[in-house]
Amino acid sequence: MISIIPKPSECKQKDGFFTCQGALTVKSDFMLELLKCERSENSTLVIIKESSLSEEGYTLDVTKDKIEIKAADETGAYYALQSLRQLCRFELGESKIPCCHIEDKPRFKWRGLHLDESRHFFGKEEVKRFLDNMFMMKLNVFHWHLTDDQGWRIEIKKYPLLTEKGSVREYTQINGWQSTDVVNERYEGFYTQDDIREIVEYAGKRGIMVVPEIDFPAHSASAIAGYPWLACRELFRDVPGYFGSKIPVLKLKMRDWNRPVCPGKDTTIDFIFDIIDEVCELFPAPYFHIGGDEAPKDEWKKCPCCQQRIKDNNLKNEEDLQGWLNNQILEHLKSKGKRLIGWNEILKAGNLDKSVVVQYWTPKRDKNAERFVNNGGSMIMSNHHSFYFDMPYGQYPLKYTYDYKPEKFGVNNKNVSNILGVEGENWTEWTDSREMLDCRLHPRMEALAEVAWTEDGNKDWQDFISRLNEFKPFFEKLDINYAVDSISMPKGIGGAVNRTKRQKMFYKGDTHLEVKLNKKFKAQGEK
């Protein structure tokens, strides 16, 4: 059986097997420094540069006597080797590869996975592990969320307080969105610029582009904690340890807990440009994510500086003030050869430059986003019910990811070409360990990979599940704490009851319930 995730474009099994006797040697037209094989002119593994093939595409031919790979670029050659890795199963102790012919190429150019390290910090080695698992699934964009209200995780030399103060919080909310429980422990961590360079290089060797997200104007409390003058009112507050409104409103009696930076001050604009300048030196990707979601406007309505900015630029309202800010950032990024990405709320502004890339995430349909993409705008699809991997499977079972189609979210068939691709999101308010990240992420990552790589007409849910079962020994070998079927795919009446319970507990109670159940089911022998 030919069993590969994501499913190749074309795959034909032939009679017989290639039997590996000892270590493989390779003859290659590419350097492939990650391939730890001895080089030999007489090798039975041959990798040929074939310029007529598409970018990232490849062919793989396995006969009884030889393995031949053709690719136009090094990344395509690596992807062929990842397919071969699953076919040969050498890591699992097998030595025979089924003879076959595979022709393969990706559906979408942007095949992304996101990690939020503001809420919980994982560190260099865990990020490298994350990238290795992406590489195996032919995912090629790492969206790295490095700043948010609860922590600033990237060194900025011009503004040292961003990490000295902004990377540290004194407590952390637990037990779900509706809870007011906290753990009173100091939480901290950030990446030096050398760390960032190391990870970007590591990703690049695996064909993965790293796109940073530095959030403005909202989700900036950790920056404001270090530099209070960034906000409309200069209030001295520490980095918050809460997620959402329950703790500040109910316990702290703080109505103005969600405060953005002030776009009315030139000093704020200069600060943002300074940040961008340093970050762009670290990330060669032609994209820069500015966030832009969930930006409250109440303070702007009362701020003399913001109101003067609106007047001076003939803006209609505070939404257009955010549009003005994003346009300033966009032009600054253009001068550095980069495009601005923002979450789809930025489209509320009527004056936003059309060259932006919009990332569509919201749970409800957004008519602004649909009009944007259907009128030629560039978009990344991360719709909540399919691609928010931080949510429990009880709320979003695995099939929600696999069944994703852009057309379900208002993208006309003729405009699917405006979509750069798809991306899964791993927010970490409640994901505080490798164990939990793995459980939430796998097998959703594998489903995402197939949505991103495989043409829609070539997908089949039952076939995917069959191949996923064949892949599960890799999870075990790689020490990946994947979710077993009864967690990721709850079924029947009992499944519906369990789904409801898991959802309730996630929002208030035990956010780790599915992880605990998963451990229990594995101990009972479930796969």
Catalytic residues: 148, 219, 294
Torsion of CA 166, 171, 177, 180, to 10 degrees: -140
Contacts of 482 (CB under 8 A, 6+ apart): 438, 439, 442, 443, 472, 475
Q: Are 402 and 466 in contact (CB under 8 A)?
A: no
Strand order in the sheet with 58-62: 10-19, 96-104, 58-62, 67-71, 45-49, 25-28, 38-39
Residues 6+ positions from 483 with CB-CB distance below 8 Å = 393, 398, 439, 440, 442, 443, 514, 518
Tokens 């032939």, residue located: 14
457 burial level (CB within 10 Å; 0-12, 13-18, 19+): exposed
Q: What is the C-alpha separation between 478 and 488, in angstroms, rounded?
A: 19
Question: Does the N-terminal peptide bond of residue 240 adopt cis geometry, omega within 30 degrees of 0?
Answer: no
Cα 40 from Cα 347, distance rounded (Å): 56
Strands 172-174 and 96-104, how do they pair? unpaired
Residue 92, burial from CB neighbour count under 10 angstroms (0-12, 13-18, 19+) = exposed
